[in-house]
Amino acid sequence: MLSSQKISLAKVAARAFITPLTVRTFASSAVARTVSLDLHKNSFETYNCDAPSLEVKLPKEELVRMYQSMVVMRRMEMASDGLYKAKLIRGFCHLCTGQEAVAVGMETALTAEDKIITAYRCHGFTYMRGGSITSILAELLGRKAGISGGKGGSMHMFTPNFYGGNGIVGAQVPLGAGVAFAQKYLDKKAATFSLYGDGASNQGQVFEAYNMAKLWDLPAVFVCENNRYGMGTAANRSSANTSYFKRGDYIPGLKVNGMDVLAVHQAVAYAKEWTVSGKGPLLLEMETYRYGGHSMSDPGTTYRTREEIQHMRSNNDPITGLKQRLLESNIVTEDELKAIDKAARVEVDKAVEEAKASPEPEISEFWTQIYKKGTEVPYVRGREPEEFHRY
């Protein structure tokens, strides 16, 4: 297994960023700041649909913002790592380090009308959907300034696990199909993106959601973040078919190099267009990789080799990849990128202090945000049999 793993790693690395780069700046002054970049020819693999164009057109500012967002995200996760090790964040903590390109590339192709639903590896998505760094860190710290303390409602995304809800992997997928149904019912020209992992992909309810979405041609995009492992289990040990983009059967699919933020952007723009134009659901498989363990309590090195992790970091890193492109195409200078890195460090450090300074919420807060006001049941139970709260 190891040798085949090495071969497939080499293949992924070869097609990632070692790609001849052509850059064209548009002549017209109105779009002078828009550049066109060519994706590597192996960025996509299709199942019953055409591939998106390999030519990505984006304003220079957007490309720089993509870099900045990924850098902030990684810093934020590094800060979470530190806060966890200092025993200030307790319980479970799932970091998305290595997977930044998925959240960032998705967001740049969507609007606030589009919805995203995911599970516990959600800090990056929450940031991209408008959550402040302070509110995300404060949530992890269990402080009053945490994002579930009120700001979540305006975020255009749902993270059932983050808000202390559903603990069943994949359970967000049928909820996402429901949100897509609402969009169709209300005649919104928008789509819902439901994210789940390679491990969660084997849940029966994921297939039930596929079925309903296709029957009703919902604007639902199913996005499998294939980071190769579900906790400590390699994808080929849990999935009889690891071509996740083909597992929708009657739903067309697209495999995407999820370590390239531009390929993600292009695929998500394509998926939105596909679903909103009435073609029904689409399945995206983002090939990605998590650098850390499943959660903070998992060192992440017992079921995969250190060499594998190092290989991905050195050859496929999404931040390094975009950095190379920005430099090669003269969109930014090395000094400008350094300034962005420094500013991200300062911003996250400040957010850490703000989050730590936020007090713990009152005990009464335990019983809020469970039911919509006025629809509460007579009582809910707590963790202990004798602990319950009457509304």
Ligand X SMILES: Cc1ncc(C[n+]2csc(CCOP(=O)(O)OP(=O)(O)O)c2C)c(N)n1
Which residue ranges make up the site for ligand X (CB under 6 A)? Answer: 121, 167-169, 196-200, 225, 227, 229-231, 294
Residue 294 interacts with which of ligand X, Mg ion, none, CB < 5 to 8 Å by class: ligand X
Phi, psi of 388 (to 5 degrees): -150, 160
Q: Which is nearer to ligand X, 150 or 164 (CB)?
A: 164
Q: Answer yes or no whether residue 275 interacts with Mg ion by CB under 5 A.
A: no
Nearest residue to Mg ion on Cβ basis: 197
Q: Which is nearer to ligand X, 17 or 244 (CB)?
A: 244
Contact (CB, 8 A) for 283 and 251: yes
# of chain residues touching Mg ion (CB under 5 A): 4
Contact (CB, 8 A) for 44 and 51: yes
With a CB cutoff of 8 Å and minimum separation 6, the contacts of 314 are: none
Q: 286 has which bridge partners?
A: 225, 256
Q: Which is nearer to ligand X, 309 or 327 (CB)?
A: 309
Residue 18 interacts with which of ligand X, Mg ion, none, CB < 5 to 8 Å by class: none
Rg (the chain; Cα; Å): 21
- CB of residue 51 vs ligand X: minimum separation in angstroms? 25
Q: Which is nearer to ligand X, 146 or 292 (CB)?
A: 292
- CB of residue 198 vs ligand X: minimum separation in angstroms? 4
C-alpha to C-alpha distance for 340 and 338, rounded to whole angstroms: 5
- CB of residue 230 vs ligand X: minimum separation in angstroms? 3
Q: Which is nearer to Mg ion, 198 or 347 (CB)?
A: 198
- CB of residue 168 vs ligand X: minimum separation in angstroms? 4
Contact (CB, 8 A) for 232 and 302: yes
> Pairing state of beta strands 34-38 and 55-59?
antiparallel
Distance of CA 265 to the CA centre of its chain: 12
Q: Which is nearer to Mg ion, 197 or 293 (CB)?
A: 197
Question: DSSP states of 183-251 as a string?
Answer: HHHTT-S--EEEEEETTGGG-HHHHHHHHHHHHTT-SEEEEEEE-SEETTEEHHHH-S---GGGTTTTS
User: Which of the residues 190 through 249 are near Mg ion (CB under 5 A)?
Assistant: 197-198, 227, 230
Q: Answer yes or no whether residue 318 interacts with Mg ion by CB under 5 A.
A: no
Footprint of Mg ion (CB under 5 A): 197-198, 227, 230
